[in-house]
């Protein structure tokens, strides 16, 4: 199952459509990462030529962007887009497209910006200009709650560590945790089962996906994060940003300004805690 499909399945099955078993989620408040340097002042650009803003997204990737039963768009990205428009005091529309149609729609002028959990990397930078990252997807180790170990190379030497095969997470383990006994799995269901049975001491995976599993009924409070987060961009990307057409400097600056203001006034924190109550940092 793909990264995207699994996040959607977990979120729809539990955390964001009200089906999560009460009391399973960790009550501790999530740590909110700071992507916006408060010491770096972002000047307000000239917005006189920006009367409205058309965001493009998709509707099947909860909790970031998804459709409610009545068809209304919801999610972290959707709420963030609306908050940006409120901050800039301009009219705003948000339209959903299939993911593979987002780039053609932007290039055809059917929208002004893509807010669709687009990872910033060399390939995407060749197609779009991006704002500063507004979230990232770190990697984390997960162990049984009762397991006491340090999630550092020395602490995991000789221990069996599970990972999805042929992924950046496996490559990272091979380079930075060379003395671990890596066990690869074809699916996350198998990975989770191996940890719960004690076949592995820990698994190493995407922290966002892992946080949803830890909060869900399947985990039954069995497990917890250990160590990290691991954020090396060479393996896990530079983060996720809002994409605009190449060369659209004015809009990119306006969006960066709005993101910085939302971080400063606490709106970003409120949205982050609303959608990510289980901290993945």
CATH code at position 151? 3.40.190.10
In this predicted structure, what is the pLDDT of residue 260?
Answer: 93
- Whether residues 220 and 157 fall in one domain: yes
Pairing relation of β-strands 73-74 and 65-67?
Answer: antiparallel
In this predicted structure, what is the pLDDT of residue 51?
Answer: 87
Two tokens at 139? 């990697």
Burial 187-218 (b: 16+ CB within 10 A, else e): ebeebbebbeeeebbbbbbbbbbbbbbbbbeb
- Whether residues 127 and 244 fall in one domain: yes
- Whether residues 225 and 242 fall in one domain: no
3-state secondary structure 214-263: HHCCCCCCCEEEEEEEECCHHHHCCCEEEEEECCCHHHHHHHHHHHHHHH
For the chain, residues with pLDDT lower than 70 are: 1-30, 36-40
Residue 280 counted as domain residue: no
- Whether residues 55 and 41 fall in one domain: yes
Q: What count of other Cβ atoms lies within 10 Å of the Cβ of residue 219?
A: 20
- Whether residues 73 and 199 fall in one domain: no
In this predicted structure, what is the pLDDT of residue 46?
Answer: 85
Q: Report the first-to-last Cα separation within the chain, whole angstroms.
A: 24
Widest pairwise Cα distance in the chain: 62
Name the residue among 264, 276, 233 with its Cα closest to residue 15: 276
The whole domain housing 153 covers: 139-235
User: Residue 228 in contact with residue 207, Cβ under 8 Å?
Assistant: yes
Distance CA 67, CA 74 (A): 6
In this predicted structure, what is the pLDDT of residue 37?
Answer: 66
- Whether residues 245 and 128 fall in one domain: yes
Nearest 5°: CA angle at 124, between 123 and 130? 140
- Whether residues 212 and 248 fall in one domain: no
């Amino acid at each position: 199952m793909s990264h995207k499909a699994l996040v959607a399945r977990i979120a729809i099955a539990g955390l964001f459509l009200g089906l999560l078993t009460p009391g399973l989620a960790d009550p501790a408040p999530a740590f909110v990462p700071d992507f916006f340097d408060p010491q770096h002042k972002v000047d307000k650009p000239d917005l006189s030529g920006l009367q409205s803003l058309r965001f493009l997204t998709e509707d099947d990737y909860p909790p970031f962007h998804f459709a409610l039963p009545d068809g209304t768009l919801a999610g972290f990205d959707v709420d963030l887009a609306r908050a940006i428009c409120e901050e800039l005091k301009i009219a705003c529309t948000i339209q959903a497209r299939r993911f593979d149609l987002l780039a053609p729609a932007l290039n055809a002028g059917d929208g002004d910006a893509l807010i669709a959990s687009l990872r910033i990397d060399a390939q995407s930078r060749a197609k779009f200009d991006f704002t500063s990252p507004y979230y990232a997807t770190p990697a984390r180790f997960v162990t049984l709650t009762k397991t006491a170990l340090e999630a550092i190379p020395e602490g995991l030497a000789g221990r069996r560590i599970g990972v999805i095969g042929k992924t950046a997470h496996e490559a990272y383990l091979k380079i930075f945790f060379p003395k671990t006994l890596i066990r690869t799995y074809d699916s996350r269901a198998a990975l989770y089962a191996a940890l719960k049975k004690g076949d592995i001491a820990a698994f190493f995976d995407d922290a966002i996906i892992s946080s949803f599993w830890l909060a869900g009924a399947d985990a039954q409070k069995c497990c917890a994060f250990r160590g990290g987060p691991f954020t090396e961009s060479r393996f896990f990307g530079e983060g996720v940003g809002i994409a605009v057409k190449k060369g659209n400097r004015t809009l990119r600056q306006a969006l960066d300004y709005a993101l910085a203001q939302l971080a400063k006034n606490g709106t970003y924190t409120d949205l982050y805690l609303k959608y990510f109550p289980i901290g993945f940092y």
